[in-house]
Amino acid sequence: MIADSFKERLARGVFSTVLRLAAPAYLLRVFLRGRQEPLYAAHPGERFGFGDAIAPGSVWVHAVSLGETRAAVALIERLRQDRPGMRLLLTHTTATGREAGRALLREGDTQRWLPFDTPGAVKRFLKRTRPAVGVLMETEIWPNVQHQARKAGVPMVLANARLSARSLRRGEKFKALLAPAARTLRLALAQSQADAERLRQAGVPDVRVCGNLKFDLQPDEAQLARGRAWRAGLNRPVVMLAVSREGEEAAMLTAWKAAAQARAQAGNPLLLIVPRHPQRFDEIAAMVTDAGLTLVRRSAFGTSEITTPPLSAGVADVWLGDSMREMSLYYGLADVALLGGSFEKLGGQNLIETAACGVPLFMGPHTFNFAEAAELSLEAGAARRVETLPQALDEALRLLTKPQERDAMAAAATAFAAAHRGAAARMAAPILALTGYSST
């Protein structure tokens, strides 16, 4: 392992000092955010590395938020398959990630917050958990976590790794801090060849291309079937704004009202909005009613697995998907989807899940979070790219008047998703090898 230079050690020292000084403000932020998301403020000691000691030898997977936690599902399942009896240490930094992660735990597993990235907090965490290997999901870089893990003899892996050209350029500004963090990684398991090349440029010593774990995720068939049953009962098509982000809902509502004639020609479709962040549900509900549109919220149906929504819901202008872990249900409802996060400069959301559910997709110009998957989906005919959200809506409404064309896109989406599976198996083997375990 190449030793860090004086400049790099100094950069990490300054970074650590700043974080130590910011610790009171960080803790205040945790409690303030906990007012909206109570789970976020639970177990505050874990944020600073405290917690009961556990038996050594767990496979530690850090999934920062909901998207990374969902991507980790396929990897964790494959790790358990290849190493029966594996104990999992699962960490997060957001409440949505931690809530989703609960469903992945088995007897003997542990769930914690990732400690604040100061040397003391990380040392306490590692002393109490003593994992056999650490797996960071997708884009996570934590200078002190990785430095202290190296000192403790814990090999660190970046799994489902991606690095955009923009992120690589930004990283150059903080090279003295990030370059040694990149070198501490024993292995990066990249989504694409382009990601791999950029990771090597960033300084990761061993990079392998394994594909994208999100292709290995299977839709919840029960939810998908229920969504399709709901759609059949509506007797009108459904346009979905999927995993929307700030600015997109307002633009969609404006475009929706302006497209009255096209909507009439398309069979008076229902607009389904499923936001990315649950703390924005009420904000978006108010936005819809302020626009003069009638609204029904998914939460109004209750938590039971109802087979048919209330009759009054069928005549609403807009449905708001204000529930968690029901994306397969919403995709089952949709005839066509618009990709959230791609119409603002946010990099796009998970378009692979849309394809796996067989839903034709229109995406905006900003898909750098899923760059290769976006290009592959375009080549496969599963998705189409437009420049603006109003253009996407126009194309979606036009597609509703062309059922054969829509069905062809849906079939192409399903085939595209199925063709790229297998990343979990390619990633699990080298991760387990770092623990000294071999299934052969």
197 CB-near residues (< 8 Å, 6+ apart) = none
Q: State yes or no: is 46 an active-site residue.
A: no
* Strand spans (E) along 277-412: 295-297, 318-320, 336-339, 361-363, 383-385
Sort 67 into a burial class: Cβ within 10 Å, 0-12 / 13-18 / 19+.
buried
- Integer Cα distance of 23 and 56 in angstroms: 28
Exactly one of 46, 68, 249, 372 is catalytic; name it: 68
Give the single-character DSSP code of 292: T
- Output the CA–CA distances (angstroms, integers) from residue 172 to 89, 156, 196, 422, in the order listed: 32, 22, 17, 33
**Structure tokens given for 4:** 């860090």
State both tokens at 290. 């302020």
**Residue whose C-alpha is closest to residue 154's, from 178, 136, 140:** 136
The SS3 of residue 222 is helix
State which amino acid sits at residue 252.
Answer: M
Residue type, 110: T
Kindly state the tokens that stand for 422.
């297998």
Residue ranges of E strands in 156-232: 156-161, 185-190, 207-209
Catalytic residue ranges = 68
